[in-house]
Amino acid sequence: MRRTIPVTARAVTVAAVIGMVTVGCGKKGGTDGGGENVKLQGAGASFPALLYNQWFKDYKAAKPNITVDYQSTGSGAGVKAVTDGTVDFGASDSAMSKEEIEKVARGVILLPMTAGKVVLAFNIEGVTELKLSREAYVGIFLGKITKWNDPAITKSNPGVSLPDKTINVVVRSDSSGTSYVFTKHLSAINADFAKSPGTNKAPNWPVGIKSKGSEGVTASLKTTPGSIGYVEYGYAKTTGIPMASLENKDGAFVAPTVASGKASLATATLPDDLVAWIPDPSGKESYPIVTFTWMILYKKYEDQKKLDALKELILYCLDKGQASSEELGYIPLPANVVEKVKAALGGMTIGK
């Protein structure tokens, strides 16, 4: 039976470790603190929130008159906020569909700002290293593999003492780009999963404890023995939860590292609309679940100061900001992608 685990007091502790994402930034055009105040409101994906938090904090030191209030609400909520016009920018790991884009009269521009890995973090007493074959991790999330000592798991982990205990699967309860990326990968590698639950921001999981946001999933994993769940790498790294090595397309078991993420990202070709997917990258060194994540901006803004502030903020994130990526476990954008994103900023203008 599915049940929803609320984010408990321990979850609050985890959120404190991860850090608040609402921060102040500064003024366009200098470090002297002069000029008019500009507030930018954003909302959406929790997947890149750790990095966005760092970017905005660093930017604050140089531009103290621009305030960026970013709420980590999930990709689905971010797209809705953009559609409803309640934010200056949104963020989504699932980008936007053609149908969603057509609902925004002001038009939108999707900008890949970084890339990251979806990892399978676990909490098994006495186990710090775990290898999961494709058969194993698809089976776990389909509810077909229910014990940690199932042969599909033990055969890849000789010498590891796996308990005869139930696997407590943790999944997202909200509309999530992380869920979209994870299910897109599972659908790419398994025909049964592709049929049901399939690729979805809010999949109808056949098994799982539900928690809201990457923060909530991380908290549930920390407090639920025998659990496994999918989160962005940085959340697992920050809280010290072990992460499984996953079997990739070439049959190699690969740990989620910056190097394995870069190997996967190198297989992507970015089209003109800047939306590219890597559901099952090839290469023995490639980690199998890697994705870009996008900021969503409008093509038209009524306020010139907000438009200028947004452009300058984006340029900072694409230049100096990329240096923060590896430290937090994200994958810096390749130079050719950075140049394409910078060029896309020219499509933002004043208008209604």
CATH number at residue 27: 3.40.190.10
pLDDT at res. 192: 97
When the pLDDT of each residue in the chain is averaged and rounded to a whole number, the result is: 90
Question: Is residue 106 located within the same domain as residue 135?
Answer: no
Amino acid identity, position 214: S
Mean pLDDT, range 33-55, rounded to an integer:
88
Q: What percent of the chain has pLDDT over 70?
A: 90
Q: Token pair for residue 94?
A: 């699932």
β-pairing, 22-24 with 227-232? unpaired
Question: Is residue 329 located within the same domain as residue 256?
Answer: no
How would residue 24 be classed by pLDDT, with cut points 50, 70 and 90? very low
- Which of 230, 265, 300 terminates a domain? The answer is 265
pLDDT at res. 152: 98
Is residue 4 helix, strand or coil? strand
In a domain, 313, yes or no: yes
In a domain, 10, yes or no: no
d(CA 45, CA 47): 5
Question: Is residue 143 located within the same domain as residue 107?
Answer: no
Question: Is residue 134 located within the same domain as residue 220?
Answer: yes
What predicted TM-score, i.e. pTM, was given to this entire model? 0.86
Question: Is residue 132 located within the same domain as residue 227?
Answer: yes
Angle at CA of residue 47, ends 240 and 21, nearest 5°:
85
* pLDDT at residue 344 is higher than 70: yes
pLDDT at res. 216: 95
- Please report, in angstroms and rounded to a whole number, the separation of the first and last CA atoms in the chain: 49
In a domain, 280, yes or no: no
Condensed to tens digits (0 to 9), the pLDDT of residues 276-333 reads: 999 999 999 999 999 999 999 999 999 999 999 999 999 999 999 999 899 898 999 9
Question: Is residue 242 located within the same domain as residue 323?
Answer: no
Backbone φ and ψ of 311, nearest 5° = -60, -45
Mean pLDDT, range 216-236, rounded to an integer:
96
d(CA 326, CA 259): 10
In a domain, 281, yes or no: no
Centre a 10 Å sphere on the Cβ of residue 83 and count the other Cβ atoms it contains: 18
User: What angle, rounded to 10 degrees, do the helices at 304-318 and 49-62 form?
Assistant: 110
Helices (H), 255-303: 258-265
d(CA 208, CA 140): 10
**Residue ranges making up the domain that contains 233:** 117-265
In a domain, 283, yes or no: no
How would residue 76 be classed by pLDDT, with cut points 50, 70 and 90? very high
Question: Is residue 302 located within the same domain as residue 224?
Answer: no
Q: What percent of the chain has pLDDT over 90?
A: 84
* pLDDT at residue 138 is higher than 80: yes
How would residue 352 be classed by pLDDT, with cut points 50, 70 and 90? confident
Total structural domains in the chain? 2
Condensed to tens digits (0 to 9), the pLDDT of residues 198-208 reads: 999 999 999 99
Could you identify the residue written with the tokens 């994993």? 221
Question: Is residue 247 located within the same domain as residue 228?
Answer: yes
Q: Token pair for residue 187?
A: 């659908």
pLDDT at res. 20: 38
Mean pLDDT, range 174-184, rounded to an integer:
96
Backbone φ and ψ of 208, nearest 5° = 135, 145
* pLDDT at residue 70 is higher than 80: yes
Helices (H), 213-295: 213-223, 233-239, 258-265
**Nearest of 56, 92, 57 to residue 72 by alpha carbon:** 92
Mean pLDDT, range 67-78, rounded to an integer:
94
Distances (CA, A) of 207 to 3, 34, 40, 120, 127: 10, 55, 39, 15, 23
d(CA 27, CA 36): 7
Question: Is residue 243 located within the same domain as residue 180?
Answer: yes
pLDDT at res. 26: 37
Question: Is residue 234 located within the same domain as residue 301?
Answer: no
pLDDT at res. 35: 64
* pLDDT at residue 234 is higher than 70: yes
Question: Is residue 134 located within the same domain as residue 105?
Answer: no
Is residue 43 helix, strand or coil? strand
In a domain, 201, yes or no: yes
